[in-house]
Amino acid sequence: GAGVSQSPSNKVTEKGKDVELRCDPISGHTALYWYRQSLGQGLEFLIYFQGNSAPDKSGLPSDRFSAERTGGSVSTLTIQRTQQEDSAVYLCASSLGPGRENEQFFGPGTRLTVL
Amino acid sequence: GQNIDQPTEMTATEGAIVQINCTYQTSGFNGLFWYQQHAGEAPTFLSYNVLDGLEEKGRFSSFLSRSKGYSYLLLKELQMKDSASYLCAVRGGSNYQLIWGAGTKLIIKP
């Protein structure tokens, strides 16, 4: 695709429900990142994929959060038993590779609201 | 710990020049990025510095001093569309992970 796409754009859920967020990176980009951004805050790193493997899951805030990437392309971020503090915009980004100069291209984000 | 500091908010006048500062303390340094983020939109890349000095790109310039742990983004000939948040991000010891500042909200007044 022309850019990084994410779905859904908005998700409202009830506390305790599971949600699944999807990211479709730019074709050919091997590196994929998930971030969380709360209102007025900077980006909080969640997880990084190189290909299908996730060498760094250190940013996942709890074991309720998991992510996978298949075929070196689409990634899904799953949040189980959602809590109100999970409400945020979840941003996905991709880059050509992990090389230090490679800029990250961001998707439009998924705004998650947990009631 | 690792820390990125930027002013929370700045105000400038259309047509003027504004400098947004960023200081950082990270374990290792492999480059500094500036991103622009309009309200409700995703961040978009502006600049990358890995060596000391000034990188100029049209109306935007970015400066880096590694010894001081300091960078600034300079915006010239400000336009109303420049109203946005400007995020400073540092690639620390790892090859891929960026550490992000909270962003500086820039308000442009006519």
* Bond preceding residue A8 cis, omega within 30 of 0: yes
B54 contacts: CB under 8 Å, gap ≥ 6: B61, B62, B63
Share of chain A above pLDDT 70, in %: 96
Q: In chain A, which residues have their Cβ closer than 8 Å to the Cβ of B31?
A: 100-101
Question: Above 90 in pLDDT, residue A42?
Answer: no
What number is the average pLDDT over the span A74-84?
A: 97
Query: CB A56 to CB B41 under 8 A?
Result: no
Beta strand ranges found along A3-104 (DSSP E): 5-7, 10-13, 19-24, 31-37, 43-50, 53-56, 65-69, 75-79, 88-95
Q: In chain A, which residues have their Cβ closer than 8 Å to the Cβ of B42?
A: 4, 91, 106-109
* Between residues B107 and A57, the one the model is more confident about: B107
Instruction: Give residue A72's Cα distance to chain centre.
Output: 15
* Between residues A58 and B110, the one the model is more confident about: B110
A80 Cα to chain B: minimum distance (Å) = 25
* Terminal alpha carbon distance of chain A: 33
What is the C-alpha separation between A97 and A5, in angstroms, rounded? 18
**A61-65, B15-19, B26-30, range with the lowest pLDDT:** B26-30
A103 Cα to chain B: minimum distance (Å) = 7
Q: Which among B37, B73, B35 has a CA at the least distance from the CA of B55?
A: B73
Nearest CA in chain A to B9: A40
pLDDT of amino acid A98:
67
Q: In the predicted model, what is the mean pLDDT of chain B?
A: 93
Question: Above 60 in pLDDT, residue A100?
Answer: no
Q: Is B64 helix (H, G, I), strand (E, B) or coil?
A: strand
Query: CB A42 to CB B4 under 8 A?
Result: yes
Q: In chain B, which residues have their Cβ closer than 8 Å to the Cβ of A100?
A: 30-31, 50, 91, 95
Question: Above 90 in pLDDT, residue A97?
Answer: no
Query: CB A41 to CB B102 under 8 A?
Result: yes
Query: Are the C-beta atoms of residues A45 and A101 closer than 8 Å to each other?
Result: no
- Contact residues of B toward A, CB < 8 A: 4, 30-31, 33, 41-45, 48, 50, 87, 89, 91, 94-103
